[in-house]
Amino acid sequence: MTTVRIEASRAYDVTIAPGLLGRAGALLRPLTQAKRAALVCGDRVGPLYAGTLQGALEQSGFAVSLKVIPHGEAYKTLETCGEILAFLSRNAFTRGDLVVALGGGVTGDLAGFAAAVYQRGCGLVQVPTTLLAAVDASVGGKTAVDLPEGKNQIGCFCQPLAVLCDTDAFSTLDARELRCGLAECAKIGLLFDRDFFFALPALARERRYEEIVARCVAYKRDLVEKDEFDRGERRLLNLGHSFGHALEQASRWQIPHGEAVAAGMAMIARAAAARGLCADGELDAILALLAALSLPTETDYSADELLAALEKDKKREGDTLTLVVPRAVGRCELLSVPLAEAAGWLRDGGAR
C-alpha cells in the first residue's frame, strides 16, 4: 500500500493498493462523522465494483444509498448532476454526509461537482477505477460538467476527504482505456522524470500500477500544493492538452482524450524541435516512447481545423495561448504564444 499526502486547502491522503475497495470503510471511518454515504457510479462500473464497496462501507457503519448514472462523457451534464442532487435531497442527505464517486473521470467530475454544491458542499471521496482517473482526475480537486458548447465549462475546486485507488479495478479496463491512462503517465514523465518516462512501457507491461500511480500522483501533488487554483505552475499539466483538446474538438470527441493528448504531446515536441527549443534526439525519443505505448503521434487534421478549436480553448487568455513546451525529456516550460502564431506551431507540429 502506498499513501501520498496532499496538503491543499484541505489535506488528504491518496491511498493506492490492490484490494482497496474491500477496505474502504475501515479507511474512511476515522476521517468523518458521516452516518450516510451516497455511492455514485456509472452503469458499467456499478455491476463490477459497487457491491464490494457498498459492503465495505456498510461494515464500517455507513448507511449506503446507491445512485447509478449512465456511463460516458455525453452524460457529464448539468442534467445528470441535477439527478444526483435530487437523489441526495430526496434521500435527505445532509452536509455532514458523504458522496463517494466510484468510477472513471466522468463519474469523479460529476459526483465531485454535485458534492461541491449540494447544500454548499458535503464530503467527497474519490474512488477512481480507470488509470486516467487514478493518475489525474481524482487528484487535485477539479470538478466539472460539460455544456453543449464545450467540455468542462462549469465546475469548481473541491478537494476530497480521501482518494482510494484500488489497482485491481484496472484489470477490467480494455486495452484502449489503459493506453489512454498511460498517455497521462507519459505526460508526467515528459514533464518531470526522465527515468520514469523511459521505464513506462516496462512498468505497464509488468502491470506495476501501484508504482505508476504513486509516481504520477506525487508529481501532481507538488503542483497542486504550489498552485491549487491553476494560475501558475499547475498549468504545466496541460502539456499536450492545448493541441490535444483541439484534436478532440475537431473530431467531435471521436478521438479519446488520452490518444488526443499523446498526439498533442508529439505535435508540441515536433514544433519545439523545429524551433530549436528541443534537440532532435529528444524529439525522436518522445515519438518512440509514445509509439512503444501504442499511442498516436500524428494527425490528419489541418492547421485551420485545429485553429478553430484552439480559439475556443478556455485556457486561452485574450489573444495569447500558454503552451507547454518540451525542452528535453523531463524538462518543459510554459511559453506564451500570440494566437496569431498558433497556426505556425500547428504546422510545425505536423498538421497539414
Ligand X SMILES: NC(=O)c1ccc[n+]([C@@H]2O[C@H](COP(=O)([O-])OP(=O)(O)OC[C@H]3O[C@@H](n4cnc5c(N)ncnc54)[C@H](O)[C@@H]3O)[C@@H](O)[C@H]2O)c1
Count of residues touching ligand X (by CB under 6 A): 30
Instruction: Give kind and range of the element (H or E) at residue 142.
Output: strand 142-147
Instruction: Give kind and range of the element (H or E) at residue 128.
Output: strand 123-128
3 state DSSP class of 337: strand
Q: Which of 85, 88, 133, 178 contacts ligand X by CB under 6 A?
A: 133
* Nearer CB in complex with ligand X: 173/218: 173
Q: Which of 19, 172, 206, 300 contacts ligand X by CB under 6 A?
A: 172
Instruction: DSSP for 18-70, please give it.
Output: TT-GGGHHHHHGGG---SEEEEEEETTHIIIIIHHHHHHHHHTT-EEEEEEE-
Q: Among residue numbers 242 through 261, which ones bind ligand X (CB under 6 A)? A: 257
For residue 310, state whether it binds ligand X (rule: CB under 6 A).
no
Instruction: DSSP for 233-269, please give it.
Output: GGGGGGTTHHHHHHHHHHTTT-S-HHHHHHHHHHHHH
* Nearer CB in complex with ligand X: 40/303: 40
Q: Among residue numbers 88 through 107, which ones bind ligand X (CB under 6 A)? A: 103-107
Are 191 and 200 in contact by the 8 Å Cβ rule? The answer is no
Q: Among residue numbers 43 through 82, which ones bind ligand X (CB under 6 A)? A: 44-45, 48, 71-73, 76
* Nearer CB in complex with ligand X: 50/351: 50
Task: Indicate the residue whose CB is closest to ligand X.
Answer: 105
What are the residue ranges of helices labelled H in 125-174? 131-132
Q: Which of 129, 159, 242, 297 contacts ligand X by CB under 6 A?
A: 129
For residue 193, state whether it binds ligand X (rule: CB under 6 A).
no
Q: Which of 39, 100, 132, 273 contacts ligand X by CB under 6 A?
A: 132
Minimum CB–partner distance for residue 324 and ligand X (Å): 15
Q: Which of 8, 68, 117, 173 contacts ligand X by CB under 6 A?
A: 173
Question: Which of 186, 345, 179 shows the shortest CA–CA distance to 255?
Answer: 179
Please choose, out of 1-9, 54-62, 134-142, 328-336, the segment that lies near ligand X by the rule CB under 6 A: 134-142
User: Per the structure block, which three cell numbers stand in for 24?
Assistant: 474502504
For residue 16, state whether it binds ligand X (rule: CB under 6 A).
no
Identify the DSSP state of 171.
G
341: CB partners within 8 A, 6+ apart = none
Q: Distance between CA 163 and CA 116 in Å, rounded?
A: 15
Beta-bridge partner residues of 3: 15
Please choose, out of 24-32, 133-141, 265-273, 336-344, the segment that lies near ligand X by the rule CB under 6 A: 133-141
For residue 137, state whether it binds ligand X (rule: CB under 6 A).
yes
Q: Which residues sit at the interface with ligand X, rule CB under 6 A?
A: 42, 44-45, 48, 71-73, 76, 103-107, 109, 129-130, 132-133, 136-137, 140, 142, 151-152, 169, 172-173, 177, 180, 257
